[in-house]
Copies of this chain bind each other. A is one copy, B any other.
Amino acid sequence: MNINIEIIGLIAAIFTTSSFFPQVVKIWKTKQTKDISTTMYIAMMIGTCFWLSYGILINSFSIIAANIVSSILILFVLFFKFLYKNSNN
């Protein structure tokens, strides 16, 4: 494991993982989820599980860390989407 490369991976992980926070906060504040696609988040959840397996297999700390945190945040968005059921898909 090259530390310099892993630092780039971790910066990537911080951005893509933290990118879910504003959406979670936005839903939390507005209680509105109408324009948010459930299909998107379900596909992303499945993909995240595969990325986690891939990260374990290639022994990439960045990929493992990113996908554990992302999957938790995606579950939050999906939870809110079902909680505030003012949606259309």
Contacts and interface: CB of A to CB of B under 8 A. Distances in A.
Interface of A: 2, 5, 8-9, 11-23, 25-27, 30, 32-37, 39-44, 46-51, 53-54, 57-58, 60, 62-63, 89
A35 to B, nearest CB: 4
A33 to B, nearest CB: 6
Contacts of A23: 36-37, 40
This chain: copies in complex:
2
B51 A39 contact: no
Contacts of A34: 32, 35
Nearest to A57: B5
Most chain B CB within a 10 A radius of its CB, from A20, A46, A48: A46
